[in-house]
Amino acid sequence: MLSEFLTFIREQSLFEAQDKILLAVSGGIDSVVMSDLFNRAGFYFAIAHCNFGLRGPESDGDEQFVVQLAQQYGLAAYTNFFDTPAFARQSGISLQMAARQLRYEWLETLRSTEGYDYIATAHQLNDCIETLLFNLSRGTGIAGLSGIRSRQGRVIRPLLFADRESVAQYARQHQISWREDSSNRESKYARNLIRHQVVPVLKKLNPNLESTTALTMERLAATERLFQASVAALRDQLEERKEGGIYLWFEKLENWPEPLLHLSHILEYYGFSYRQVRTIWDSRHQ
């Protein structure tokens, strides 16, 4: 798995060998395996852990485990405790959304202040599949079906080449211990419902679900890049800036294929939803 790990990093141009990487480590199997791979590869890295305080003593146990893991590697370990429920209430968002926002904001602050080049998270291929299905259930476009990107700004995901079973097999082979998050077994969360009930059914239909879905997401991501190039070219033709505003020439847009789709992506940049864009488009001749 180490060779596949290094190949993926090189092919995806995730980072250079001399870069300093800040690893987001929860204590779960994926992030602990990622830490082991970074250590075996000889990369310069440190470990960061978020304690969201959502599981009481179990959350504190995760933090202690991660600190000990960093000590075993002789590494710096950064930890932070968040009052996630309070932040969620104040922000009017779900606990999961609150934890995600707190996590990435703190990691980016830590990265920039401590001089690290990138933040590495331990998302793997099955996380991609679950994200695709989650987005599909809520309604999405091509981008939402393209899975999780291997690199977004300063965030890299070097485990996306591996499925969950490959990660587990590596952990067994190298006698790696990790922490189990009891909330992962609860189907009250949408992603867990997809993981435990939807994906097993799809696996019965297609035992090679991971590999075929990975190929599909790769093709969709390429399609998205092609489409975005088309949108950029069209935006240059349609937009006119004057008198402190931006004007779009619908007459030119009507000659393009799928004009509504193109317009939705252009106006999405300015915060318009697809429904709002459709209303604008339908009323253009009024």
Left if phi > 0, otherwise alpha if psi is -120 to 50, otherwise beta: which for 208?
Answer: alpha
Sign of CA dihedral 196, 199, 203, 208: negative
Full residue range of the structural domain in which residue 255 is found: 227-282
221 within some domain: no
Q: Hey, what long-range contacts does 218-221 have (CB within 8 A, 24 or more apart)?
A: 220/142, 220/145, 220/146, 220/147, 221/146, 221/147, 221/149
Provide the domain count of the chain: 2
Measured between alpha carbons, how far is 14 from 11 in angstroms, rounded to an integer? Answer: 8
- Return the pLDDT at 92: 92
Per-residue pLDDT averaged across 63-85, rounded? 94
User: CB 202: neighbour CB atoms within 10 A?
Assistant: 14
Return mean pLDDT, the chain: 91
Q: Do 205 and 252 lie in a common domain?
A: no
CB 87 within 8 A of CB 99: no
R_g of the chain, CA atoms, integer Å: 22
Tens digit of each residue's pLDDT (9 = 90 or more) over 112-162: 999 999 999 999 999 999 999 999 998 888 888 888 999 999 999 999 999
Instruction: Say whether pLDDT at 88 is over 80.
Output: yes
Q: What are the two backbone dihedrals, phi and then psi, of residue 54, each rounded to the nearest 5 degrees?
A: -95, -15
Tell me the per-residue pLDDT of 242-264, one tens digit each, with 9 for 90 and over.
877 888 888 878 888 888 888 88
From residue 6, how far is each of 1, 38, 179 by CA, in Å? 9, 9, 25
CATH number at residue 172: 3.40.50.620
Lowest mean pLDDT across 101-115, 131-145, 181-195, 203-217: 181-195
Q: What is the pLDDT of residue 175?
A: 96
pLDDT at 27 over 70: yes
Task: Put the strands of the sheet holding 44-51 in their side by side order.
Answer: 77-81, 44-51, 20-24, 118-120, 155-156, 151-152
Output helix, strand, coil percentages for the chain, rounded to the nearest 5.
Answer: 60, 10, 30
Q: Give me the mean pLDDT over the 196-216 stretch.
A: 93
Whether 53 shows a pLDDT value over 80: the answer reads yes
The whole-number average pLDDT for the span 225-241 is 86
Same domain flag for 245 and 143: no
Query: Strand 77-81 vs strand 44-51: parallel, antiparallel, or unpaired?
Result: parallel
Q: Is the pLDDT of residue 21 over 90?
A: yes
Checking if the pLDDT of 48 tops 90, the result is yes
Predicted confidence (pLDDT) at residue 241 exceeds the cutoff of 70 = yes
pLDDT at 100 over 80: yes
State whether 124 and 31 are in the same domain: yes
Same domain? For 203 and 85 the reply is: yes
Q: Is residue 285 predicted with pLDDT exceeding 70?
A: no
Q: Which of 178, 154, 163, 258 has its CA nearest to residue 217?
A: 163
Same domain? 242 vs 197: no
Number of H helices, E strands in the chain: 13, 8
- Write a three-state SS string for 17-44: CCCEEEEECCCCHHHHHHHHHHHHHCCE
- What percentage of the chain exceeds 70 in pLDDT? 98
The answer to whether residue 286 scores a pLDDT higher than 70 is no
pLDDT confidence tier of residue 204, bands split at 50, 70 and 90: very high
Q: What is the pLDDT of residue 170?
A: 97
| Confidence at residue 255, expressed as pLDDT on a 0 to 100 scale | 81
- Same-domain check for residues 201 and 78: yes
**Residue 219 domain-assigned (yes or no):** no
Q: Residue 235 has what pLDDT?
A: 85
**Which of 108, 99, 101, 92 is closest to 55 using CA atoms?**
99
- Same domain for 192 and 161: yes
Is residue 218 in some structural domain?
no
Q: Evaluate whether residue 214 is within a structural domain.
A: no
* Assigned domain for 30 exists: yes
The rounded distance, in Å, linking the Cα atoms of 118 and 14 is 9
186 has pLDDT over 80: no
Q: Which pLDDT score is estimated for 161?
A: 95
My answer on whether 236 and 192 are in the same domain is: no
In this structure, is residue 222 part of a structural domain?
A: no
Question: Are the C-beta atoms of 47 and 23 separated by less than 8 Å?
Answer: yes
Which range is least confidently modeled, 78-92, 118-132, 201-215, 229-243? 229-243
